């Protein structure tokens, strides 16, 4: 389908494509097996300008938007959803600063993220606070011109590798959701250390780690927006970044579809290519249709986000929900089309199937997306 990309957008996709083919494809299997963080790929992404596509020009970026971020993440994830997450996870960490930071904070933190010299990360989840972010326990107590952070964050993408962390912590536990605030905490701040590094089912080239705060003094100048705005900032961030998860899922699905078509054409059984068998053709047709529907939804959502100042919670949740479910269905079918080969590490589709699963879980599980979509529908109906 033609999405009428501009020349600049086509150029971004072409750049991401060549980085994927040249720098990611040759190493993706090894990086997955050995859980290697792709710093070499991040360096190339930074030099090519892709890390800052969505960051305004005055802060070192290309001044584009969520749509361009989606195009880049999709194209990189077509080759490797784990490595692509270094860039997408950094965007997740950067968005609270973009949305809630003042000019000084943006000028301080965004240029190195835009250039890819530093990665960012987003730290909301804790062991007792997953889907229910209001159960956060990490505290931030104001003492003079600093906030003192105590607590542990878990499952943080880019944890340990990133330099810049957007961290949600409780500044007033009597106020529930309105008592959570957002801070930028830099790696190296005394009292900020890294805990357990997770071993995972998929996206194994991505680092997922605990952050440990023990009497960590964060300058008051690193508070984003105002006290009590942390959860709102996190939710507004998700409006812009869930399409990024959707794009990661879409990229994984389209990569799996490509592998399935290529294998179906070359695999001979019963004296004919399996691509000539209707059972295989129907699977391919369903996969391609779902991939295109997913693409149309996430592109439309991303374009809407860039064009409106209104909240896009429902649309972003729909894109994330649909694309991630498509990624799961398509990668499972790709493994089926490759048969026994699909089950082996030597072929990329088993990794794609493992990588797809996370897109149904993080940035809010798909059950949480459904809750949000339903809530929006009911609110809308009540307002009529
Ligand atoms: C690889 C990885 C990377 C991650 N990266 C980050 C990161 O960078 N930053 C960050 O802050 N977090 C990150 N996370 C955390 C992630 O966002 C959470 O794991 C996710 O939101 C789910 O929380 P949970 O794991 O505690 O599951 P739980 O909340 O315990 O959910 C368990 C099950 O219960 C269901 N459930 C819970 N509540 C409801 C409800 N109200 N209605 C219906 N069903 C419900 C869930 O859908 C799920 O099926 C990451 C997680 C992983 C695995």
The model's pLDDT over 324-360, given as tens digits with 9 standing for 90+, comes to 999 999 999 999 999 999 999 999 999 999 999 999 9
Helix (H) or strand (E) holding 272: strand 272-273
What is the position in ligand 1's atom list of the atom closest to the CA of 132?
29
Closest CA to 72 of 202, 244, 204: 244
CA of 24 to the centre of ligand 1 (A): 28
Write out pLDDT tens, residues 81-126: 999 999 999 999 999 999 999 999 999 999 999 999 999 999 999 9
- Catalytic residue set: 363
Biggest distance spanned by C-alpha atoms of the chain:
79
Q: What is the pLDDT of residues 247-302, one digit of tens each?
A: 999 999 999 999 999 999 999 999 999 999 999 999 999 999 999 999 999 999 99
**Atom of ligand 1 at shortest distance to CA of 198?**
1
Contact between residue 181 and residue 204 where contact means Cβ atoms under 8 Å apart: no
What is the spatial distance between Cα 280 and Cα 338, in angstroms, rounded to a whole number? 10
pTM check: above 0.85: yes
Buried b (16+ CB within 10 A) or exposed e, 116-143: bebbbbbbbbbeebbeebeebebbbeee
Which residue has the CA at smallest separation from atom 43 of ligand 1? 367
For atom 6 of ligand 1, the residue with the nearest CA is: 156
Helix (H) or strand (E) holding 321: helix 313-342
Within 195-277, residue ranges assigned H as helices are 230-266
User: Using a 6 Å CB cutoff, which residues line ligand 1?
Assistant: 89, 121-125, 130-131, 155-157, 200, 208, 358, 361-365, 367-368, 371
- Ligand 1 mean position to 132 CA, how many Å? 8
Rounded CA-CA distance 263/248 in Å is 23
Compute the average pLDDT of residues 191-203. Answer: 98
Distance, CA of 20 to CA of 281 (rounded, Å): 28
Q: pLDDT per residue over 356-378, tens digit each?
A: 999 999 999 999 999 999 999 99
Sign of CA dihedral 114, 118, 119, 121: negative
CA of 103 to the centre of ligand 1 (A): 32
Distance, CA of 89 to chain centre? 5
């Amino acid at each position: 389908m033609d999405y009428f990309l501009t020349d600049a957008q086509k150029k971004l996709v072409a750049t991401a494509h060549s980085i994927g083919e040249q720098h990611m494809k040759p190493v993706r299997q090894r990086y997955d097996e050995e859980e290697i963080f792709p710093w070499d790929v991040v360096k190339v992404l930074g030099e090519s300008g892709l890390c800052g596509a969505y960051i305004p020009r005055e802060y070192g970026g290309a001044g584009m938007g969520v749509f361009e971020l989606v195009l880049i993440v999709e194209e990189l994830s077509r080759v490797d959803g784990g490595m692509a997450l270094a860039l997408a996870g950094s965007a997740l960490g950067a968005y609270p600063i973009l949305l809630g930071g003042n000019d000084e904070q943006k000028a301080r933190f965004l240029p190195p993220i835009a250039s890819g010299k530093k990665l960012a990360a987003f730290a909301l989840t804790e062991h007792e606070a997953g889907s229910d972010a209001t159960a956060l326990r990490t505290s931030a107590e104001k003492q003079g011109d600093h906030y003192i952070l105590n607590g542990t964050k878990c499952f943080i993408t880019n944890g340990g590798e990133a330099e810049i962390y957007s961290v949600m912590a409780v500044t007033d536990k009597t106020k529930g959701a309105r008592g959570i605030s957002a801070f930028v905490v830099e790696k190296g701040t005394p009292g900020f250390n890294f805990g357990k590094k997770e071993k995972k089912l998929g996206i194994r080239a991505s680092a997922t780690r605990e952050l440990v705060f023990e009497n960590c003094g964060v300058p008051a100048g690193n508070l984003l927006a105002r006290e009590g705005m942390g959860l709102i900032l996190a939710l507004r961030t998700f409006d812009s970044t869930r399409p990024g998860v959707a794009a990661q899922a879409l990229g994984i699905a389209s990569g799996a579809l490509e592998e399935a078509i290529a294998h179906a054409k070359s695999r001979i059984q019963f004296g004919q290519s399996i691509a000539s068998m209707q059972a295989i053709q129907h699977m391919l047709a369903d996969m391609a249709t779902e991939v295109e529907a997913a693409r149309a939804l996430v592109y439309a959502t991303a374009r809407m986000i860039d064009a409106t100042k209104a909240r896009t919670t429902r649309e972003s949740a729909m894109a994330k929900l649909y694309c991630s479910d498509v990624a799961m269905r398509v990668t499972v079918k790709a493994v089926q089309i490759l048969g026994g080969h699909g089950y082996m590490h030597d072929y990329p589709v088993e990794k794609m199937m493992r990588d797809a699963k996370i897109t149904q879980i993080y940035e809010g599980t798909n059950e949480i997306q459904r809750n949000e979509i339903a809530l929006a529908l009911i609110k809308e109906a009540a307002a009529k």
